[in-house]
Amino acid sequence: MKLVVLGGGGVRSPFLAKSIVSNAHIANITEVVFMDNDGEKLNIFGGLSKIISERINSDIQFDYTTDAEEALKDADFIITTLRVGGDVCRTYDERVCLDLGVLGQETTGAGGFGMAMRSIPTLLEYCDIIKKVSKENALIFNFTNPSGLVTQALRDAGHNNVYGICDAPSEFIKQMIRAVDSTAEEFSVKCYGLNHLSWFKDAKVNGVDVMDKLLNDEAVYNSTDMRSFDRELVKIMGDTLMNDYLQYYYYRERKVDKIKSAKCTRGETILDINARMFEKLKGIDVEKNYDEAFDIYMEHYMERENSYGLIETGVERIDLLEKMTIDQFIDEPDEGGYAGVALNFIKAFVGGKACEMVLSIPNNGAIKELEDTDVVEISCIIEKGKVTPVPVDDIHAMQVNLMKIMKLYERTAVKAITNTSREKAIKALTIHPLVNSYSLAKEIVDQFIDKYQVYTAKWH
């Protein structure tokens, strides 16, 4: 089986390669190809990934290339993890919005629309190539942000082999499992909503309800993603646990103030760290000096990851990472991340034991308040050749309201981007609850179109 990663020249590539190769047996993966159109970065991060792959499992054929058709030829599985426009465009997305007093966060915020303007057309082109040269029933796992919106666009275009994946729900579920001193086999919970806008309820251990324990345990509000939320808000929302990204909706003005008072945005932080890393790495022969290259890589990667959420919350992440040598990195047990989600999906889908996981897929009646074609983030049962969302009843009215508004935004945004329509784009951002203003939406859209001429030349 052949697995291809589109966006294989990204900074996270060595971690992604480790996860894929370490768990390749789960899905009978024998060939892995990392593809990226930035050859210079691919040579560094793809090169590091290849060395890691060979040291973990030399039986896996691992290659990297800038040729999309070559990479995707006869592929069985594809993971998309693109950042179209790079870190520079991300910083512009954020600043345009922030200067207008609007959250520019790259998935939930209006900045996500800027990223979608670049990501969706590019991924539609890749999907056409996949249709032409990959295996007939190739599966596509989209991790490109804003993941829910992008997955909706690809599904709307008829690419019914696309599944949105995100490691946020699975990581939070791991935190819940630790909080009740349980195991993945014993624990179950229903996730429902949209990507980066989801809730969790009906948590059980061996069929016994543990929601009250999770909702009222002080440690949960100190040492899990629930530390972003007040207990009173949880009660108001109907006593359900929440995806960490919901903080951007329920504490909107605090987040804007926090980011404005910081010296730089998250995107600007990443741009600086990555630029310093790349400058040090580009003069090194990765193949001959991989220990030195990996040491530089890991130093900057730790700085990047350990600063996650710091600007927006003012507190460090829960699980601070420690710098490792390449040997320590390879020996460290792998927790999977979004690659693990994809590989476990593959195993169950192609004929393994049925499993449950959170995916972004068409609703198909699981949340009755939304349309069947709406892509939702929801617990799913995966078994041979079939993916079934777990129905969710009795959803709190406030949650339904936010979901319906955001889906109206997403539907309109997809139409705007696929039809290159300025008017529809303004309409979409006017709907968005974190913008909710025609004048602001108009200003944001016009600045994006003007700035991204290489991507927006056909917009009208």
Over residues 65-92, the pLDDT tens digits come to 999 999 999 999 999 999 999 999 999 9
420-454 residues labelled b (16+ CB within 10 A) or e (exposed): bbbebbbbbbbbbebbeeeebbbbbbebbbebbee
**Mean pLDDT, the chain, whole residue set:** 94
φ/ψ of residue 289, rounded to 5:
-125, 50
Calpha distance 240→246 (Å, rounded) = 12
Calpha distance 442→459 (Å, rounded) = 14
Is there a single domain that holds both residue 208 and residue 354?
yes
Using an 8 Å Cβ cutoff, are 140 and 103 in contact?
no
| Res 336 pLDDT > 70 | no
Q: What is the pLDDT of residue 311?
A: 85
Percent of the residues in the chain that have a pLDDT greater than 70, as a whole number = 100
| Res 42 pLDDT > 90 | yes
Is there a single domain that holds both residue 317 and residue 226?
no
Pick from 141, 186, 82: which is nearest to 358 by CA? 141
Is there a single domain that holds both residue 341 and residue 235?
yes
Instruction: Kindly give, in sequence order, each residue whose CB lies less than 8 Å from that of residue 153, ignoring residues fewer than 6 positions away.
Output: 116, 120, 123, 124, 414, 417, 418
98 within a domain of the structure (yes/no): no
55 within a domain of the structure (yes/no): yes
Over residues 388-447, the pLDDT tens digits come to 999 999 999 999 999 999 999 999 999 999 999 999 999 999 999 999 999 999 999 999
Q: Which of 123, 146, 164 is the last residue of a domain?
A: 164
| Domains contained in the chain, number | 4
Is there a single domain that holds both residue 75 and residue 152?
yes
The strand pair at 241-242 and 208-209 is best described as unpaired
Is there a single domain that holds both residue 9 and residue 79?
yes
Using an 8 Å Cβ cutoff, are 140 and 345 in contact?
no
Q: Which two tokens stand for residue 132?
A: 């032409």
Longest distance between any two alpha carbons in the chain, whole Å? 59
Calpha distance 370→152 (Å, rounded) = 14
Is there a single domain that holds both residue 22 and residue 116?
yes
Q: Which domain holds residue 216?
A: 169-248+335-389
Is there a single domain that holds both residue 127 and residue 33?
yes
Is there a single domain that holds both residue 379 and residue 412?
no
209 within a domain of the structure (yes/no): yes
φ/ψ of residue 196, rounded to 5:
60, 20
Is there a single domain that holds both residue 296 and residue 318?
yes
Q: Report the CATH number that the domain containing residue 33 is assigned in CATH.
A: 3.40.50.720
Question: What are the residues facing 360 on neighbouring strands?
Answer: 164, 377
Is there a single domain that holds both residue 343 and residue 321?
no
Is there a single domain that holds both residue 339 and residue 326?
no
Which helix (H) or strand (E) is 87 found in, with range? helix 86-98
Is there a single domain that holds both residue 17 and residue 75?
yes
